[in-house]
Amino acid sequence: QVQLAESGGGLVQAGGSLRLSCTASGRTSGRFYMGWFRQAPGKEREFVAAISSSGGNINYADSVKGRCTISRDNAKNTVYLHLNSLKPEDTAVYYCAADYSGSSYYTGSEINEYEYWGQGAQVTVSS
C-alpha cells in the first residue's frame, strides 16, 4: 500500500504561480510512477501531468503544457507540480496519484492507470 499526501494548494491571483507537493509513504520501494490530475466543479477528473519512476519520462496535458513542470525527488518520495501563469480555469482540486510499473520509463495519463490517490488539494485562481 502507498499513501499519498498533497500540500501546497491555496488561493492565487491570475498570472501567479503555485507549487504542489505530494509525498508518498508506505510501500515506496520499486518502480512507481506518479501523476497529477485535477477536477473542477461540475467537471470530470482530468489528467495534468505524469512522471516515470526514473524521472526520465514526463507527459503533460495540452491545457497546461508550457505552464507546468512536474518533477520528483526519489530520496524524499515526493513529486512536485509547479504551475505558472495561472488562469481562473485552473481552479480545481488537484489530486496526486501513483502506481507501479515494471518499467522505470512508464507514465500514465488515464485515471484507471493509477491505483493510489491522495485526498486532493484545492487550488483557486482569482481573476
pLDDT of residue 40: 97
pLDDT at 46: 98
> Where is 78: in which H helix or E strand?
strand 78-83
C-alpha to C-alpha distance for 74 and 77, rounded to whole angstroms: 5
Predicted confidence at residue 1, as pLDDT, reads: 85
pLDDT at res. 97: 97
Instruction: Specify the residue for cell string 518499467.
Output: 103
Residue 30 has what pLDDT? 79
What pLDDT is stored for residue 68 in this prediction?
Answer: 96
Amino acid at 125: V
pLDDT of residue 102: 86
Ranges of the chain with pLDDT below 50: none
pLDDT at 126: 97
Question: Around Cβ 127, how many Cβ atoms within 10 Å?
Answer: 9
Angle at 82 between CA 52 and CA 13, to 5 degrees: 155
